[in-house]
Chain A
């Protein structure tokens, strides 16, 4: 009914597809490597899904979840997972990803991506939930490193070690958000080289890039600016160590005109190609 464009992400730069650009993208079909959409925006079908399925006929699509709460202490919400499964069945996305974070405790939901202590107990908890999600979806999940404004003193390992162990235990992949790493370097003193070394290169399926803002000395992952030079530099370093992967420009606040977003994607594309030449 909806012939898919392709079922794999091309190793090129794509953009996060947001509502203000739906009409223009479908009307002009610009040259985009691929697009990523937030899974929850399409749960239950409805009007937005019409658009996504139309987009899907022209571009490879990655579905990026912001609400699964893989590390939440509350039981995994099976209704949420079933909605994601249903969406995947219809859209047949090239990739499905979630964040390494939590959002629900004692029934209270915080609609944000929240950090947690990287303990062995949390590792077993998150791994068992990833196992379950992958079993239900019948596919590999990419898990994204988080941008954080605080770290937990009870952590027993770094986020990089935590992710590597998740890969080993569950076979999940990694969505490496380069801007999130940069935010954590600046906010929390994370060692970027240690993080990159910890990440198993074979597991990395996608990169994300975005722009942050600064409040009281804290870098906030607002996705409302162009990618900063320091993040481009870090991206180049990551490309050298891990290699090129499908790379996404995310822009969620003060969303610019489509050509601005595409120009950012071009910058990523050039860096990927330069990395391949070297």
Chain B
């Protein structure tokens, strides 16, 4: 049923890097500085020994210094990947992970000064990486891990005080628009990705049947703890409708059309217990 695999953040992933910039001193002649640093940067990123005439050390060749910078560049990105994808590293082993990381880094440079932004595309990369394709669940586990990583760093928002919801009169229930915490993500997969992920946590169980079918993972955060749990197809369908701006009435009607046994009250409370609701408004349209 869940042949697709997709990361469904309730808000788009933060744009990496660059963004909103201003030129502070446009009159300033920066050409020489720019050109030397652009050449320096190229040598570092490509990692090719190039005889740059403008850098030197009295004690070793410039190539050695460049190599240190190149190694730092790749090492920092590799550490960032290992930090964001600890389960992938466990699944494939440290050596294979290093090889994967090298391949990934050669295709994906960094465009953010924060290393926590680096590595978003690893899931897609694993779908096309020939050696990694032997483990077809890797891309979805990577997407789950990236969602956890983003959830960990997502902006803080206080959870909704449910007492406020109880003040809404019954005839207004259908018009409630719930706001979802920025650390909330849904990842679905034809593989048991939640079981795979949990198996590689401390005290995880290693009894996994890869043929046991797909799972939908809900990622959320309460204060400083990221939670990963499996949710059912009807819960996911309904939450997705809410995330996409449907009010409770519209989300529930459309869910019941596909899943006649959907239980609204329990689903609402389950998500509330995970701190997924942050606020609500009332209205017929969002």
Contacts and interface: CB of A to CB of B under 8 A. Distances in A.
A and B together in one complex: yes
B59 A189 contact: yes
Most buried by A among B34, B66, B77: B34
Contacts of A51: 224
Nearest to A79: B19
A2 to B, nearest CB: 13
Interface stretch (A99-107, A161-169, A235-243): A99-107
A187 B55 CA distance: 12
Majority DSSP secondary structure for residues of A touching B: mixed
B18 interface: yes
Contacts of A195: none
Contacts of A114: 37, 40-41, 44, 69
B55 A151 contact: yes
B24 A109 contact: no
B113 interface: yes
A73 interface: yes
A50 B45 contact: no
B223 interface: yes
A47 B225 contact: yes
B111 interface: yes
A77 B17 contact: yes
B59 A125 contact: no
B156 A45 contact: yes
B76 interface: yes
Q: How many B residues are at the interface, by size bracket?
A: 35 or more
B134 interface: no
Given A46-B154, A216-B60, A78 B25 contact: no
Interface string B1-43: 0000000000000100111111111001110111011101100
Interface string A7-38: 00000000000000000000000000000000
A189 B33 contact: no
B220 to A, nearest CB: 12
B182 to A, nearest CB: 9
B115 A111 contact: yes
Contacts of A150: 55-57, 62, 65-66, 69
Q: How many A residues are at the interface, by size bracket?
A: 35 or more
B111 A102 contact: no
A276 interface: no
A116 B37 contact: yes
A218 interface: yes
Interface string A214-230: 01111010000000000
B12 to A, nearest CB: 15
Contacts of A189: 57-59
B64 interface: yes
A80 interface: yes
Contacts of B34: 73, 105
A75 B54 contact: no
B68 interface: yes
Contacts of A151: 55-57
29 contacts: A40-B116, A43-B153, A44-B14, A47-B153, A47-B224, A47-B225, A47-B226, A48-B153, A69-B113, A75-B23, A77-B21, A78-B20, A107-B17, A109-B17, A112-B76, A114-B37, A114-B44, A116-B36, A119-B32, A125-B25, A150-B57, A153-B56, A154-B36, A154-B54, A215-B64, A218-B57, A218-B60, A218-B65, A220-B72
Interface of B: 14, 17-25, 28-30, 32-34, 36-38, 40-41, 44-45, 53-60, 62, 64-69, 71-73, 76-77, 80, 109-116, 118, 152-156, 183, 221, 223-226
Q: Which 10 A-B pairs have the closest CB atoms?
A: A67-B113, A47-B224, A150-B65, A149-B65, A73-B34, A150-B55, A46-B153, A75-B21, A45-B156, A109-B110
